[in-house]
A and B are shown apart, each in its own frame.
Chain A
Amino acid sequence: MGIKWDKILITGDPLILGSQIAILLTMIGIVVGVTLLKKWKYLWTEWFTTVDHKRIGIMYIIVGVLMFFRGGIDGLLMKAQTATPNEKFLDAQHYNEVFTTHGVIMILFMAMPLLIGLMNVVVPLQIGARDVAFPQLNAVSFWLTFAGAMLFNISFVMGGSPDAGWTAYFPLAGKEFTPGIGNNFYAVAIQIAGIGTLMTGINFIVTVLKMRAPGMTLMRMPMFTWTSFIASVIIWASFPIFTVALALMTFDRIFGTHFFTVGGDGNPMMWANLFWLWGHPEVYIVVLPAFGMFSEIISTFSRKMLYGYKSMVFSIVGIAFLSMLVWVHHFFTMGAGPAVNSIFSITTMMIAIPTGVKIFNWLFTMRKGRIEFTTAMLWALAFVPCFIIGGVTGVMLAMGAADYQYHNTLFLVAHFHYVLIPGVVFAVFGGLYYWWPKMFGHMLNEKLGKLHFWFFVIGFNMTFLPMFFLGLDGAVRRAYTYSASTGFGPLMLVSAIGAGILAIGFGFLCYNIYWSARYADRNISSDPWDARTLEWATASPVQFYNFAKVPEVKSIDAFWYMKKHNEGLELNEDELEEIHMPNNSGLPFVMAVVMGIAGFFLIFEWKIAALVALLGIFACLIARSFDTKDGFHVHIDEIKKIEKAWRTVDKEVKNHVS
């Protein structure tokens, strides 16, 4: 036992060697760059130690976008490998590692951080709060997610990537069949990020229930807040299960227990069971906040309030409830018996009903509206037809007996990309275009945005639509190659070309971010879209205390009401009070670093060192417990100054929309 230092780095593979060098150079570059620009202090005081929900949200978004790159390149590699029959671009082992990391990264380190990031930025603003309920915990959550993501990513160059699929089914994922340490990365890195996510869930439940501005009853909350809240509830309900499942996996792999092994009377199927008990709710965790974003965007750009608000709330609650009761549909073919399959077919299909209610409500929100085709709105519009295709194929999969023919084929792969990409990625893109001014004080360019949109949407359909037909023709998932005689070649090629177009689309987003950061107009209104909810009632970018005076809420779409009745828009300086804000703290960062180190040791099976590092966590916790700092107060003069700066400037409301 013990670490074998000379074996940590993967050797002998040009691709990996290249990345190792690239990573080293990038790190040196960053360190040198930051040092030269004398930005260390700034980074530390303004970002690493921040507890401000908006900054934490932005850091989440940065992580998510970076991970989208990583996962996207994985996707492109796969598409390149399967573009033609008998391709030799990647070997089997490589391909296995690539789709495993692609799945994990896309769901856990791309979708989750992006959604949680936007939740962080927006939810406290939408409910008129100054921060989340537990700002320090929020920072801990972020840094744990970050540590988990980094730990997972170094598997590429150190020790070896996990290669048993994002589902990591046992017995394959056990030491008996995957003896290297690749899957330890899966078990430990996701665990660390998962704990962060669980704490986020709890944090947002409390935030939404306890921090709402006066007058904001539950049934007046904006839809994004509602969906974030319900997503948090699902996190709270499902992540503990995953925590346990991963812990048991860790025990099996590192301590030789027999939970899921073939030997020792383990029960490998129990892993699948626990995994999907978490895994299915997880897909609704990512899709619900996305639904919320679409609701905001659609209602803003149709200039109408959300149609059927109440039924929207009931349907998300219904989806959340059902989401915990359908997990077996991922292994109908395990043979748990016809009764089991029948029940779970029914519960699964029932989810179509509340989802349909949402779809029709969105359509009727647009009806009689005045639909403006901003980029954000385009994403929301493209979502509807694309998601319907994903949704109805989901219902086809839900029919247990039919699933015997679809299961683990490219039909399934097409289904979940058709729900995940319109459901999550389109939403995040839409959300970014929509809330960008709130976060950074300038808009993203609409022209580039539209290029981004068209390339991405067309590329997406071209990539994944063929997969339905390939699946029905018997093409299985996770196969690194196929022979020419199968006849899959042409459609696979179409799909690969589509992925290229998709990548160009994403390239436009990156360029857009760069272009806008440099050239976009800074002189914009705090409410550039003429929007409806409270986050637009304050400055852009938002001042650190969010609201000088907590707004009073009288209706749904509170800010719209304020604008229509001209209430509460002006600031009465006499009513200002001192604002209490939490202190920054370096502890969350330190804790995540220690956790990352402990995780690293555990992954490399150096148990003593991991234990020692873990003691560091306890030290941090004790330090936190004895910490008596109770935040600071913002003086009225300072508030006045900050408020004047953005309220007095005359900005044209719509000078940005092309």
Chain B
Amino acid sequence: MDKHSHGTPMTQVFGFVLSLVLTFAALFVALKTSMSFNVIMWIIGILAVVQAALQLFMFMHLRDGEDSKAQTINVVYGVFIAAVTVFGSIWVMNFSGM
């Protein structure tokens, strides 16, 4: 069973092409358009998240193995803490109350 359940090279190729597309899309949005900084950051941010998810599911097979649920919770919670750390720090260090 292992041969097929693990993705044919087609999924690998597909994932690779997709990641290239996403990378170049981000590049284009960032450097070749004249949207406002915030809009650009939102778009390329989302593109980055999509691409990360793609790697996780298509290349890393996050949901494989007998502990797929625990693995997924682990990554999701890790991402949550990461978000708290990044956005929390930015917010707090902004001294926006001044």
Interface residues of B in 8-49 (CB under 8 A from A): none
A16 within 8 A of B: no
Query: Are A241 and B97 in touch, CB under 8 angstroms?
Result: no
Query: Are B92 and A273 in touch, CB under 8 angstroms?
Result: yes
Query: Are A237 and B77 in touch, CB under 8 angstroms?
Result: yes
Cα of A546 to Cα of B84 in the assembled complex, Å:
41
Cα of A340 to Cα of B89 in the assembled complex, Å:
11
Query: Are A339 and B97 in touch, CB under 8 angstroms?
Result: yes
Q: How many residues of B contact A (CB 8 A)?
A: 17
B81 within 8 A of A: yes
Query: Are B98 and A269 in touch, CB under 8 angstroms?
Result: no
Cα of A241 to Cα of B85 in the assembled complex, Å:
9
List B contacts of A335 (CB < 8 A): 95, 97-98
List B contacts of A237 (CB < 8 A): 77-78, 81
A270 within 8 A of B: yes
Query: Are A325 and B84 in touch, CB under 8 angstroms?
Result: yes
Query: Are B97 and A277 in touch, CB under 8 angstroms?
Result: no
Cα of A365 to Cα of B24 in the assembled complex, Å:
62
Chain A interface main SS type = helix
Chain A minimum-CB-distance residue to B84: A324
Interface residues of B in 74-88 (CB under 8 A from A): 77-78, 81, 84-85, 88
List A contacts of B96 (CB < 8 A): 336-337, 339-340
List A contacts of B91 (CB < 8 A): 340
Interface residues of A in 265-309 (CB under 8 A from B): 267, 269-270, 273-274, 277
Q: Residue A270 contacts which of B70, B84, B93 (CB distance < 8 angstroms)?
A: B93
B2 within 8 A of A: no
Chain B interface main SS type = helix
Cα of A338 to Cα of B84 in the assembled complex, Å:
19
Interface residues of A in 311-329 (CB under 8 A from B): 324-325, 327-328
Most A CB within 10 A of own CB, among B78, B91, B92, B95: B92
A209 within 8 A of B: yes
Chain B minimum-CB-distance residue to A233: B77
Query: Are A209 and B95 in touch, CB under 8 angstroms?
Result: no
List A contacts of B84 (CB < 8 A): 324-325
List A contacts of B92 (CB < 8 A): 273, 328, 336, 340
- Tell me the minimal C-beta distance from A242 to chain B in angstroms: 12
Q: Using A270-B89, A273-B92 as known contacts, say yes or no to A209 and B70 having CB atoms under 8 A apart.
A: yes
Q: How large is the interface on A (under 10, 10 to 19, 20 to 34, 35 or more residues)?
A: 20 to 34
Q: Residue A340 contacts which of B70, B78, B85, B97 (CB distance < 8 angstroms)?
A: B97
- Tell me the minimal C-beta distance from A184 to chain B in angstroms: 25
Chain A minimum-CB-distance residue to B77: A237
Q: Residue B67 contacts which of A210, A267, A273, A336 (CB distance < 8 angstroms)?
A: A210
List A contacts of B93 (CB < 8 A): 267, 269-270, 273, 336
Q: Using A210-B67, A324-B81, A325-B84 as known contacts, say yes or no to A337 and B97 having CB atoms under 8 A apart.
A: yes
Cα of A328 to Cα of B70 in the assembled complex, Å:
30
Cα of A270 to Cα of B94 in the assembled complex, Å:
11
Cα of A328 to Cα of B84 in the assembled complex, Å:
12
Cα of A339 to Cα of B95 in the assembled complex, Å:
10
Cα of A209 to Cα of B74 in the assembled complex, Å:
12
Q: Residue B97 contacts which of A274, A325, A338 (CB distance < 8 angstroms)?
A: A338
Cα of A269 to Cα of B95 in the assembled complex, Å:
11
Chain A minimum-CB-distance residue to B70: A209
Cα of A335 to Cα of B95 in the assembled complex, Å:
7
List B contacts of A269 (CB < 8 A): 93
List B contacts of A210 (CB < 8 A): 67
Q: Fill in one digit per residue for A336-359: 1 if any B CB lies within 8 Å of its CB, else 0.
A: 111110000000000000000000
Q: Using A337-B95, A337-B97 as known contacts, say yes or no to A273 and B89 having CB atoms under 8 A apart.
A: yes
Cα of A277 to Cα of B88 in the assembled complex, Å:
10
List A contacts of B98 (CB < 8 A): 335, 337
- Tell me the minimal C-beta distance from A100 to chain B in angstroms: 25
List B contacts of A325 (CB < 8 A): 84
Q: Fill in one digit per residue for A124-139: 1 if any B CB lies within 8 Å of its CB, else 0.
A: 0000000000000000
List A contacts of B70 (CB < 8 A): 209
Cα of A339 to Cα of B85 in the assembled complex, Å:
18
Subset of 8 A-B contacts with CB under 8 Å: A209-B70, A241-B85, A269-B93, A273-B89, A335-B97, A335-B98, A336-B92, A340-B96
* Interface, chain B (partner A; CB < 8 A): 67, 70, 77-78, 81, 84-85, 88-89, 91-98
What are the nearest 8 A-B pairs in CB distance?
A: A337-B97, A237-B81, A336-B92, A337-B96, A338-B97, A273-B89, A340-B92, A209-B70
* Interface, chain A (partner B; CB < 8 A): 209-210, 233, 237, 241, 267, 269-270, 273-274, 277, 324-325, 327-328, 335-340
4 additional contacts, CB 8 Å, given A337-B94, A337-B97? A210-B67, A233-B77, A273-B89, A339-B97
